Chains A and B, each alone.
Chain A
Amino acid sequence: LKEKHKILHRLLQNSSSPVDL
C-alpha cells in the first residue's frame, strides 16, 4: 500500500516542514 501511495506516505513520514506538492 505504501508503494502505491508514495506522496501520502511521504506526507506521513515528513516530520515538520510541508512537503512540496
Chain B
Amino acid sequence: PESADLRALARQLYESYLKYFPLTKAKARAILSGKTSDNTPFVIHDMKSLLEGEQMINCRQMPMQEHRRSDMGIMHEVELRFFHSCQSRSAEAVSEVTEFAKSIPGFVNLDLNDQVTLLKYGVIEVLIIMMAPLMNKDGTLISYGQIFMTREFLKSLRKPFCEMMEPKFEFSVKFNMLELDDSDMALFLAVIILSGDRPGLLNVKPIEDLQETVLHSLELQLKMNHPDSLQLFAKVLQKMTDLRQLVTDHVQLIQLLKETEVDWCLHPLLQEIMRDLY
C-alpha cells in the first residue's frame, strides 16, 4: 500500500508538471534532435540573427530614450533588450513554478511565510534544472522552443553578459547525462522546493516530512524507470550541491550588472527573490 501511495504521488506531480510547464523535456529533445518536422527552431548565432529572431517572436521591447540610443550604440542596446526579455520570461516561469509548488500535496498548508521562503530560495534552482533539457553542448532553446541560440554566440557577448550562461551549459551537459525524463523531473523539482534548510524557515518539521515522502517517491520512481542506472538516486541528489553554487554565482552576476549597466533594470519579481538571497 505504501508504494502504491508513492506511485500515486509521482503521477500527481507529473500531471501538474505537464499542466504548468509548457515546454516538456520530451518536446524539447524532439525539437533539438530534429525529430519534429513542424518545429524547426530559428537559429540565433550572431547580432543580425538576434535582431531577426527578436522581430520573429515580437519580444517586449525595453523603452529607450533617443539620446541614449546614439551614446550606447545599437549593439549594446540589443544585448540589454534581449536580457530584458529573458527577465520577462523568467518572471513568467517563476509564476509557473509557484503554481507547481502549490500543487505539491501539503505545500499550501505550510506557514505562508515558509511558502514564501521555499520559493524565494528554490525557484532559481528549479529554473536552472528546467533549463537543462532545453540545452545541448552547442546551444539552448528559448522562447518556448521557437528559437535555438548558440552557445558560441552567448560567449561572444560583452562582459558580463557572456559569463551568464556558460556555467549553466557546463552543468546542463552533465545533468542531461543522467537522462531523467519529465516524470522524474517533476519529483526532483518538488524535492528541491521542499528543502528544509533554507534560511529563515519558521517551521522546518512539516517541510522535512513532506520532502521525505517525495524523496521516497523519487527513489522508487528512479528504480522503476531506470532499472539499469546504478546509484541514480544518489547522483541526482548530488546535483543539489552544484545548484546552490550556480545560484550564488548567478546572483553575484546580476548584482554586478546592476552596478555597471546604466540601463539595467531588474524585474520587480526577480528583485524580490534576489534581495538578501545569499
The yes or no verdict on A and B being binding partners is yes
- Whether B116 lies near A8 (C-beta < 8 A) is yes
Within 8 A of A (CB), among B45-97: 88, 91-92, 94-95
Within 8 A of A (CB), among B106-153: 108, 112-113, 115-117, 119-120
Instruction: Annotate A1-21 by CB proximity to B: 1 below 8 A, 0 otherwise.
Output: 110111111011100001101
Within 8 A of A (CB), among B253-276: 267-269, 272-273, 275
Q: A12-B102, A12-B115 are in contact. Are A4 and B275 (CB under 8 A)?
A: yes
> Which of the four size classes fits the interface of chain B?
20 to 34
- Whether B116 lies near A6 (C-beta < 8 A) is no
- Which residue of chain B lies nearest to A19 when distances are taken between CB atoms in the complex? B95
- Whether A6 lies near B98 (C-beta < 8 A) is no
- Which B residues have a C-beta under 8 Å from some C-beta of A? 88, 91-92, 94-95, 98-99, 102, 108, 112-113, 115-117, 119-120, 200, 267-269, 272-273, 275
- Which residue of chain A lies nearest to B115 when distances are taken between CB atoms in the complex? A12
Q: How far is the CA of A9 from the CA of B269 in the complex (A)?
A: 10
Which of B94, B200, B268, B269 contacts A1, CB < 8 Å?
A: B200
- Which residue of chain B lies nearest to A21 when distances are taken between CB atoms in the complex? B91
Q: How far is the CA of A11 from the CA of B97 in the complex (A)?
A: 10
B124 vs chain A, min Cβ distance (A): 13
Return chain A residues, CB-CB under 8 Å to B112. Answer: 2, 9, 12-13
Which of A1, A7, A21 contacts B117, CB < 8 Å?
A: A1
Q: How far is the CA of A9 from the CA of B148 in the complex (A)?
A: 34
- Which A residues have a C-beta under 8 Å from some C-beta of B? 1-2, 4-9, 11-13, 18-19, 21
Q: How far is the CA of A18 from the CA of B24 in the complex (A)?
A: 20
Q: How far is the CA of A13 from the CA of B95 in the complex (A)?
A: 12
- Whether A6 lies near B95 (C-beta < 8 A) is no
Q: How far is the CA of A18 from the CA of B11 in the complex (A)?
A: 24
A5 vs chain B, min Cβ distance (A): 5
Return chain B residues, CB-CB under 8 Å to A7. Answer: 268-269, 272
Q: How far is the CA of A12 from the CA of B116 in the complex (A)?
A: 8
Q: How far is the CA of A9 from the CA of B114 in the complex (A)?
A: 11
Return chain B residues, CB-CB under 8 Å to A6. Answer: 272
Task: Give 16 A-B contacts (CB < 8 Å), ordered by A residue.
Answer: A2-B113, A2-B116, A5-B116, A7-B268, A7-B272, A8-B98, A8-B269, A9-B112, A11-B94, A11-B119, A12-B98, A12-B112, A12-B119, A19-B95, A21-B267, A21-B269
Return chain A residues, CB-CB under 8 Å to B275. Answer: 4
Shortest 3 CB-CB contacts between residues of A and residues of B? A11-B98, A7-B269, A21-B91
- Whether B102 lies near A1 (C-beta < 8 A) is no
Which of A1, A18, A19, A21 contacts B116, CB < 8 Å?
A: A1
Q: How far is the CA of A5 from the CA of B100 in the complex (A)?
A: 19
Q: A9-B112, A9-B116, A12-B119 are in contact. Are A4 and B95 (CB under 8 A)?
A: no
